[in-house]
Amino acid sequence: MAATTARIGFSSKTSGFNAINARIAGTSEYALIEFIAADGSINPNVAITVTTSNAALMKVSKLPIANALGNYALSVPMNAGNGLATITATANVNGTLYTRTRDFSITPAAIPVPLPVGSTSTTINRALTPTLAADQSGCSTINYFDVGPGQTYVALGQLPWSMLKGCDTVRIHAKPNGGAYNEMMLISAGTNLAPTAPDKFMRVVGVLDPVTGARPIIDGTNATQVETIAGSAPRSLRYHDNPNPSRALYKLGLVMVGPQQGYDYNNGPAGYISIENLDIQNSVYNASFTDALLGQQGAYAAFGSCLYVEAAAHLVVKNNLMHNCGNGLFINSKNGAVVELSQDVLIEGNAFYNNSNAPQAGVSNGFSEHNSYTEARDIIFQYNYFGDVRPGAFGDCLKDRSSGLVVRYNTFASTCGLQMNLMDSTGGGSLIWGDHGYANVFVYGNLFDLSAPNASVSLLNFGGDSGTVANYRQGVFHFYNNTMFVKGDATHGSYPEVFLFNLNVPSAVAEVTNNVFQTSPSTSGAPGKIQTIAFGKGTVNLQNNWVSPNAAPYWLGHLSGAVVNGWNTNLGASNQPLFVNAATHDFRLSPASPLINAGGALTTINLNMLPVSEPVTQHGVIPTRKQDGAIDIGAFEF
C-alpha cells in the first residue's frame, strides 16, 4: 500500500462538501468516511477515529446501521451559535498516520426555536424523547393478570380495572376458533406524578393464538361493561361522568383510556399506558351493549370508537387491528387544559380499516368519523396500514389536529375521502397551536397505493376547519421520499381527478422533495387520471419528484391562490418509474429504474427525520432502508 497516495476519503452523503462548508444550527447530515488504498479501492478493515473540535457547534457519531461501514452523522445542535468546528479523521496503517480534516462555519438558526412548552403545573412534564417503547425495566416486580380460557381470569370483567397501575401487565389470551371477548374496557392507570416514571408502564397485551397467530378479539357486539374488585360484587366500569345524568362516555368507545369516576383532574391525565396486539371491532352506531351501571341495554353513538382516548400522556398503541367502528382510533385533548392534554403518543404497526359512517340523517354527515382521528402534543404514526372506510362513508384515513406530528413508513391503501386531513387544534388550544412543533409537520417514507376506478383521489388538506384562521397550521409541511401510485382510468376528460396539496392559508408552505406521483390506467391504452399539484392557497416547492406527464401544477380553469415552484425539476415524462411489479403492489425499484440515485439532498432535514426505514408491506417485518451514496426517489431504496 503506497503511503504517498493512500488517503482517507471524506464526503457528505446528503449535500456534498464545498469550500465554505457553512452549516446552520439544527441541521444534520450523513458523511462517508473511509480509508482508500493507493489503487483506489476502499479498505473497510482500517479503523478510523473521527473527532470534533467543538461538540457545542458540531457533533459526530457513527451510525448504528448494520453493514454501513464508514457512515457517520454530523449534526449541529439546535442552540449552536456562531463559530468554527473542525472534523478530524485519523487512521494508523502499518505505522503511517493518515489524517483528513474538514472545517465548518456554523451560524445560528434564522428563527430561534423556543424551548419545549412546559406546564404551569408540576403534574405534566414534556417528554424529552418520544415514547418508543412500553418500558417496564424500572419495575422491581411486574404483576401479571392473565385472562382467557384456562387462565386465572376467564373474562375481562373479572379484572379490577380501576385499580391497575404502572408495572401491571394484563395478558389477554386469544380464544380458540376465533372466539371473542364481548366486553368493554376502561383503562385509567398511571399519571405524570411521581413515583410513576417512563420505565413503569402499565400494559394491556394480547397473547396471539399459538396455532393461527390471530390476535385476541375484543368485540363490541352485545358487549358488557363490568369490573370486579376483590371481596365485592361486580360493578360497572367507572367512567368519570357516571354521576352526570347526561353521561356520554360509556357509549363512545369499546376500549377507552381516560380518568375514572372520582378522579382528581389536577393529577393529570391517564398515562404510561400501552395497548398491544388486540383485534378491536364493532363499536357501531346503534348496536347494543349492556350498560352495567343501569342494568339495561345501551347503544353505541355514531362517534363510537374502537379505541377512544379521552386524554392520555405517554401512550403506546401498537400492533392492533381497529375496524368496523365509527372511529378506528380517537385521541382527544380537551378544554385547553394541561391536565386534559394528550401528549407523547406512539401509534405503531396498527391496521385501520372499515371505519367511519355512511351519511344518515340525524346521525352522521359521513365526513365526521375516520379511520384515525387524533389531537395530541407530540405524536408519531409509523408502520401502520390504512385501508378502506366503510361502504358509503367519506371519512379520512388520518385526520389530525396535533403538534409535533410525524407520519412515516405507513401504507395507505384506501378509499378514504382524504388520505391525510391535517387541521387546526380545537381541544388543546394554545398548548397545541402555540407549541413550537405545531408549525412543522413531517411526512416521509410512506406508500400511497390507491385504486380509484370511478372516483377522485385527494391526498392532503393542511390548515384548519374551525373558522378561527389565526390558529390554522401556517408553517411548513415537509413531504419527502413518499411513493404515491393511483390506479384508474380518467373518467372526466381534462378534469383533474387526483388532487395533491390543498393548503388553506397563504402563509403555509409545502416542501415536496424526492416523491413519486404516478397515475396508471386500469384499462390498457386508456389515459390515467389527471393530477393537479396545488390548489387552495400557500406555496408548494417541488424538488426532484417523479410526476406522471398527465399532471399540471394548478387546477386548470380554476382560480387559485396557490404558488408552485420547481415544476422544471420534475422527472417522469416516460411515465415508467420501473417498479418491480406495480400490478402485484410491489413498488420496490427494479435495477433499471430511473429513480435510483435521482433524489435530491435533504440538507434542511434534521438527522432524526431522515428516512432510514421503508413502508411495512409484510406484517411484522420492518425493512431497513439502505444507506448508500445517493438517495433514491420514493419510499424504497434500491
Cell of 13: 452523503
Question: What pLDDT score does 123 carry?
Answer: 36
State the Cα–Cα distance between residues 291 and 237, nearest whole angstrom: 9
Coil, helix or strand at residue 177: helix
Higher pLDDT, 576 or 200: 576
Residues in the chain: 638
C-beta of residue 75 within 8 angstroms of C-beta of residue 58: yes
Averaged pLDDT score across all residues of the chain: 87
- Picking from 463, 482, 484, the residue whose alpha carbon sits closest to that of residue 474 is 463
Residue 508 has pLDDT above 90, yes or no: yes
d(CA 350, CA 409): 12
Closest CA to 126 of 430, 338, 425: 338
Q: Which amino acid is at 351?
A: A
Q: How far apart are CA 360 and CA 367, in angstroms?
A: 11
Q: How many C-beta atoms lie closer than 10 Å to residue 622's C-beta? A: 14
Residue of 166 and 19 predicted with greater confidence: 166
pLDDT tens, 333-342?
A: 999 988 899 9
List the single range of 32-36, 347-351, 564-568 with lowest mean pLDDT. Answer: 32-36
Rounded Cα–Cα distance for residues 307 and 253 (Å): 6
Q: Which three cell numbers stand for residue 301?
A: 353513538
> Is residue 274 classed exposed, middle or buried when 0-12, 13-18 and 19+ CB atoms within 10 A define those classes?
buried
- Band (pLDDT 50/70/90 cuts) for residue 185 is very high
DSSP-based three-state secondary structure for 157? helix
Binned at pLDDT 50, 70 and 90, residue 608 comes out as confident
Pull the grid cell for residue 219. 368485540
Hey, what long-range contacts does 113-118 have (CB within 8 A, 24 or more apart)?
Answer: 113/26, 113/78, 113/436, 114/436, 115/436, 116/436, 117/377, 117/431, 117/434, 117/435, 117/436
| CA torsion, ordered 460, 465, 469, 472, to nearest 10 deg | -50
Radius of gyration for the alpha carbons in the chain, expressed in angstroms and rounded: 26
- Give pLDDT, residue 2: 36
Across 374-406, b (16+ Cβ under 10 Å) vs e yields: bbbbbbbbbbbbbbbbbeebbbbbbbbbbbbbb
Dist. CA 496–CA 345, nearest whole Å: 37
Q: Using CA atoms, how far apart are residues 375 and 353, in angstroms rounded to an integer?
A: 20
Give every CB contact of residue 248 below 8 A, 6+ residues apart in sequence.
241, 301
Of 286, 279, 325, the C-alpha closest to 306 is 325
C-alpha distances (whole Å) from 423 to each of 282, 343, 373 are 27, 17, 11
In 3D space, the residue among 426, 373, 425, 383 whose CA is nearest the CA of residue 404 turns out to be 425
Q: Please identify which residue in the block is written with the cell numbers 376502561.
A: 186
Sequence-ordered list of residues with C-beta below 8 angstroms from that of 619, at least 6 positions apart, any chain: none
End-to-end, the C-alpha distance of the chain in Å comes to 33
Per-residue pLDDT for 63 more than 60? no
Nearest to 273 by CA among 360, 225, 331, 356: 331
Indicate the DSSP class of residue 42. B
Average pLDDT on 491-513 reads 90
User: How does DSSP classify residue 174?
Assistant: P
50 close to 10: Cβ distance less than 8 angstroms? no
pLDDT value for 119:
28
Would you say residue 615 has pLDDT above 60? yes
Cβ-contact 106, 132 below 8 angstroms = no
Q: Find, among 246, 245, 256, the residue nearest to 218 by Cα.
A: 256
Task: Name the range with the highest mean pLDDT among 81-95, 321-335, 604-618.
Answer: 321-335
Handedness of CA 93, 95, 96, 98 (dihedral sign): positive
Report the pLDDT averaged over residues 325-340: 94
Distance CA 347, CA 450 (A): 22
pLDDT of residue 118: 29
| Residue 217 pLDDT exceeds 70 | yes
CB 491 within 8 A of CB 526: no
As a whole number of angstroms, the distance between CA 277 and CA 216 comes to 8
Q: Specify the residue for cell string 393478570.
A: 145
- Helix/strand/coil (H, E, C) string of 75-128? ECCCCCCCEEEEEEEEEEECCEEEEEEEEEEEECCCCCCCCCCCCCCCCCCCCC
Q: What phi and psi, each to the nearest 5 degrees, are found at residue 176?
A: -65, 155
Question: How open is the CA angle 177-180-184, to the nearest 5 degrees?
Answer: 170
Percent of the chain with pLDDT over 90: 63
Task: Say what the alpha-carbon torsion angle 515, 378, 617, 453 is, to the nearest 10 degrees.
Answer: -60
Bridge-based pairing of strands 509-513 and 539-543 is parallel
pLDDT classification of 563: cutoffs 50, 70, 90? very high
- At 198 the pLDDT is 66
User: For 131-155, what is the mean pLDDT?
Assistant: 91
The one-letter code for the residue type at 239 is Y
Task: Compute the average pLDDT of residues 584-606.
Answer: 93
Identify the H or E element spanning 269: none
Lowest mean pLDDT among 345-359, 441-455, 556-570: 556-570
pLDDT score, position 20: 53
Q: Comparing C-alpha atoms, which of 120, 116, 272, 122 is closest to residue 197?
A: 272
Residue 69: pLDDT above 60? Answer: no
Separation in Å, CA 403 to CA 240, 429, 472: 27, 11, 12
Q: What pLDDT sits at residue 78? A: 60
Q: Which three cell numbers stand for residue 19?
A: 469550500
Reported confidence tier of residue 521, pLDDT bands at 50, 70, 90? very high
Its pTM stands at: 0.81
Residues 6 or more apart in contact with residue 16 via CB below 8 angstroms: 601
Collapsing DSSP to helix, strand or coil, 275 comes out as strand
More confident residue, 561 or 224: 224
In this structure, are residues 63 and 73 in contact, taking their beta carbons and an 8 Å threshold? yes
Instruction: Note the pLDDT of residue 126.
Output: 61
Q: Which comes out higher in pLDDT, residue 372 or 232? A: 372
Over range 147-163, report the average pLDDT: 96
CB atoms within 10 A of CB 486: 22
